[in-house]
Chains A and B, each alone.
Chain A
Amino acid sequence: MSDSMADRMGSSRGTTPYGQQGSSANLADILERVLDKGIVIAGDIQINLLDIELLTIKLRLLVASVDKAKEMGIDWWEHDPSLSSRARPPVSSAAQRGSELSDENARLRAEIAELRAAVGLPEAPAREAEPAEAVEAEEGRTR
């Protein structure tokens, strides 16, 4: 690598390595990159595909707008008062938020299954294709 750190970092010039994108970077900015982008590889540990879909959708609700989610064909929260921002009281404590999420999980699972059966989510094929290959590869290796 010939370029120096200062070159690589462009504007930072050594004052704050990697600019403001260190520990203080905005969580939404980080999540949309580490979760939505980056190389998707099928690891040995496979979270259930449905769970990944759920997680991604939940995060989209946090990071993206309701309008955008609607564009993606996701609108079930409108029928679910606990998910509608209009109906939901502001949640302050993180613990509360955590348990709320796990409660939602069960409900969403059923909803997603229905949705996927009905229309299919845009990302579903891309995510399913790779793990399938990797499972074969993994079997060949470990057995």
Chain B
Amino acid sequence: MASSLISSKSKIRLLAVSLLFALCALSLPSSSYSQVDTFEFDTDEQQQRFRSLSDELRCPMCQNSSLSGSTGGVAEDLRREIHRMIMEGMSDAEITQFMFERYGDFILFRPRLTAGTILLWFGPLLFLLIGAVVAFGIWRRARKISDDDAELDKSQQERLQKLLGDKS
């Protein structure tokens, strides 16, 4: 009875966790939210480039959505500009540079590597290193302590034997 109760409880928990995961997956930003534009492209590659550029560039007006996911006026204009530049044969780097010159770092979801963003790029690595140093220190000290403790001197040995003897 008790065991079946536990298992049904854990089943519910499992269900709750998987529901949570499903919700998270649903709320992930994806290009399925893309605005519907009627741009025409000559090749699929151009269309692919348009999609990835408008996913990687941020809408200036609406703070946290990409150009592809925004209904804002500026976003609409910038999508049109991206389309124009792709059709004129400009490279992705040139288009990104065009946007950067006008809207700065803000428009890039993937920030450039500069003195100001170096912590942003390598901060996690830095914290990982600090963590590794601390973990190594703890491990080394733990090993040292256990080595020291393994060696009992004579009086300690005698006391141990006495204690064990008393017990048995």
Tell me whether A and B are bound partners: no
Please report B residues at the A interface, Cβ cutoff 8 Å: none
Q: Which residues of A are interface residues toward B (Cβ below 8 A)?
A: none
